[in-house]
A and B are shown apart, each in its own frame.
Chain A
Amino acid sequence: MPNVRRRLLLLAGLLAAPSLPVIAPPAAAEDTVKIGVIEPLSGGAASAGQAIKAALELGTEIVNTPYPDMQGLPLAAGTGFPGLGGRKLELDYADNQGSPAVGQNQALRLITQDHVVALFGAYQSGITLTTSAVAERYGIPFLAPESVATNLTERGFKWFFRTTPIGPDIARAYIGFVLDQRKQGRKIDSVAIVNDTTEYGTSIAEVIKKQADAEGVKVTQNVTYNVNATDVSSQVLQLKQASPDLVIFISYTSDAILYARTMKNLDYRPPIVIGDDSGFSDPSFIESVGDLVQGAINRSAFAPGRPGTLSYKMNALYHQRFGRDLDETSARSLQGFFVLVDAINRAGSTDPGKIQAALRATDMKPAQLFTGYNGVKFDDKGQNTESAMLLTQLQGKDYVAVWPQAEATGSLQLPYAGWK
């Protein structure tokens, strides 16, 4: 917390001098290209939203100033948008406050008042749903880089694009891994899924169950609980009693921390642990309880990889700036951001229709991406058909790519170690 003291002082100043005039943000130069970004910057999901915002700030800098080192990455080499005569990029951030209605208000404000050329966001699937509906009515392209709910691309929208892998992709990766492990002689006969009852928790659990069923993997136990639990001892005891071969946690950060600690307290160490993205990827989760969940397996669309690769360089830049590794949710967002700015550049115009056409024509190759997607190409529904992911394992303070073999940078270490 480098900023704590400064912010405390600022806060004291702010409270002492309420009469200070509100300082308006400096008026943007006329010729910037504005993209509206709607993320949860306050409320329960704020830590994720803040991390995404930080990553996007780095992205903006890469677009606006020359980064010749980032070979292949669109718009990195020069300044601003070459396709628009070098105009610079400006991101217009808005807070959705975790509410679908607020997200909608902000979308409307960004479109009608700030005249953004495209919208980007909005993290929670329910809010992506309502905000993209506003964009659709106004004919403004909307790019969703991280919301995974299936129904988002089933609405017949023409201005909606999504770069992230969705539920079924995630389930395929996990179950593929399980089958692979079985082939190598590891016993995985019983699988437990632990998920909260949010949209994220239930939808991911659902697709994993479906995929497991189809592939002959038995899900023997499903423990569901309400998000922001005060105690998870009962849940852990249920697991301990059934002792499944594999436990999959689908949890937000707050609950993931409690699970990590409670498993240690009750001395419960399943043979294999998968901690799905959200909570287990949160940098503050790794910071605070990472040493209690050593060997947890996670999915990721991003892993720093080997030196010299684009992903490695991106992570290095991020690390240099924020003092920690680029987390997976932020990486997916940043990847989506580069897809959007690339499309705007190719459109050569800020006309929404032309940007929409450019997005439709997107065909990015792995060499242009820093995430593990096989490319970016949108189908009729706006879903990226080339998205992909790999599995990583927490070893020390970092997630190391361990599966599939071809992309692994470290070796898989099983059984799950938990704490030392």
Chain B
Amino acid sequence: MSRRFTALVVVAVLLAAPLLLGNAFLQRVAALVMLAAISASAWNLIGGYAGQVSIGHAVFFGAGAYSALLVYKLTDWPPIAGAPVGVAVSLLLACVIGLPTFRLRGHYFSMATIAVAELIRIVVSNWQFVGAAVGLMGPAVPRSLADLSFLSPLPYFYLFAAVLAVLLFLTWQMQRSRMGFYLGAIRAGERAALSLGVPVLRYKLLALLLSAGFTALAGSLYAVMVGFVDAESALGILISVQMVIIAALGGAGTLFGPLLGAAILIPLQETTNALFGGGGTGLTYIVYGAIILLIARFRPGGLLELLHWRRRRVA
């Protein structure tokens, strides 16, 4: 009961916070926290709950981002209309990537996902139809409300928060269902899970599909907000790594871990950049890197451990 209460308080504070921030930059940071929390929570389904550490989720993010702006380019519809296309494409990609790579264990799986993601990034950055190296552009000037191009970051914040809420609700449901139990068994050990009669492949694929779909949605939302996409910014390896470190930072395999990770990492990135970036000495990343390192050194299970210290360590 008290846990649920804490969660409610946290959510309420999070929702109200941007209103108090009265500054567009900080509000935008808050919106970016939500966006990063969506993709990290989506990654968490396969990487955290099922324990399959994918470092190639940029593929799905990119599918969403590219679909949004490609639909705009081809049809002149608002970019958000491309979101369903992006989700569909990434579900397809998830099957194509998942079926062969799920044979692989541990590091081999991680490396295979990196390789596939890099392969797709190179192909996309040379593919004229999707803008090749130049990338794709959203509407330069918003034409209607449907373009979802707002001056204030607040609408983005609440839009992202709503998507995140749906995702977290689904995750919560899943966690309590048979699927949550199965994924836990898979994470603990695939062979054991198989011998217990868990349909391992089916549930891994199911988790990946759910994960890929929401990651693609995050990608579409990103493209709508930023209005530009190229191979490096949507499919680069850093996009994949960021999802992993956000989830790991907060606590992988926990419901609120990725949100906590995003709430720490994104403002950390932005403040270090705002404080030190202009100096041009690289101090931004020295501080940022050191903080990540220290967190990992002292809280290997993620920061959420601090809140749930009585519970057994996860992941």
Having A125-B134, A133-B140, A151-B137, one finds 16 other A-B pairs with CB under 8 Å, namely A41-B278, A41-B279, A94-B277, A101-B32, A101-B222, A104-B226, A105-B270, A106-B277, A108-B153, A111-B24, A112-B24, A113-B25, A129-B137, A130-B226, A137-B151, A155-B140
- Are A95 and B280 within 8 A (Cβ)? yes
* Selected A-B contacts with CB under 8 Å, 7 pairs: A46-B282, A93-B277, A100-B226, A105-B32, A113-B25, A151-B137, A202-B133
Q: Given A42-B282, A199-B135, do A100 and B277 touch, yes or no (CB 8 Å)?
A: no
From residue A19, how far is it (CB to closest CB) to chain B in Å? 13
Total B residues in contact with A, Cβ cutoff 8 Å? 38
- Are B284 and A100 within 8 A (Cβ)? no
Bound-state CA distance A101–B229 (Å) is 9
CB-contact partner of A14 in B141, B280, B286, under 8 A? B286
Residues of B contacting A137 in the complex (Cβ-Cβ under 8 angstroms)? 151
Whether B227 is near chain A, meaning CB under 8 Å from some CB there, is yes
Residues facing B in A1-59 (CB within 8 A) are 14, 18, 22, 41-42, 46, 49-50, 53
Q: Given A41-B277, A126-B230, do A199 and B134 touch, yes or no (CB 8 Å)?
A: yes
From residue A39, how far is it (CB to closest CB) to chain B in Å? 8
Whether B169 is near chain A, meaning CB under 8 Å from some CB there, is no
Over the window 210-228 of chain A, the binary record of Cβ atoms lying under 8 Å from chain B Cβ atoms (1 yes, 0 no) is 0000000000000010100
From residue B132, how far is it (CB to closest CB) to chain A in Å? 6
CB-contact partner of B132 in A22, A102, A197, under 8 A? A197
Total A residues in contact with B, Cβ cutoff 8 Å? 48
- Are B228 and A126 within 8 A (Cβ)? yes
In the complex, which residue of chain A has the Cβ closest to the Cβ of B286? A14
From residue A217, how far is it (CB to closest CB) to chain B in Å? 24
Bound-state CA distance A46–B285 (Å) is 13
- Are A42 and B25 within 8 A (Cβ)? no
Whether B73 is near chain A, meaning CB under 8 Å from some CB there, is no
Q: Given A113-B23, A226-B122, do A129 and B132 touch, yes or no (CB 8 Å)?
A: no
- Are B134 and A130 within 8 A (Cβ)? no
Query: Taking chain B's interface residues, is the majority helix, strand, or loop, or is none over half, making it mixed?
Result: helix
Bound-state CA distance A409–B132 (Å) is 40
- Are B151 and A138 within 8 A (Cβ)? yes
Q: Given A100-B226, A126-B233, A155-B140, do A106 and B134 touch, yes or no (CB 8 Å)?
A: no
Bound-state CA distance A18–B294 (Å) is 11
Residues facing A in B111-151 (CB within 8 A) are 122, 125-126, 132-135, 137, 140-141, 151
Whether A157 is near chain B, meaning CB under 8 Å from some CB there, is yes
Q: Given A42-B285, A126-B228, A130-B228, do A93 and B280 touch, yes or no (CB 8 Å)?
A: yes
- Are A95 and B273 within 8 A (Cβ)? yes
Whether B290 is near chain A, meaning CB under 8 Å from some CB there, is yes
Residues of B contacting A149 in the complex (Cβ-Cβ under 8 angstroms)? 134
Whether A99 is near chain B, meaning CB under 8 Å from some CB there, is yes
Q: Given A109-B25, A113-B23, A201-B133, do A49 and B280 touch, yes or no (CB 8 Å)?
A: yes
Q: Given A105-B32, A106-B273, A112-B25, do A93 and B226 touch, yes or no (CB 8 Å)?
A: no
Q: Given A50-B280, A133-B227, do A99 and B270 touch, yes or no (CB 8 Å)?
A: no
Q: Given A112-B25, A198-B133, A202-B132, do A42 and B277 touch, yes or no (CB 8 Å)?
A: yes
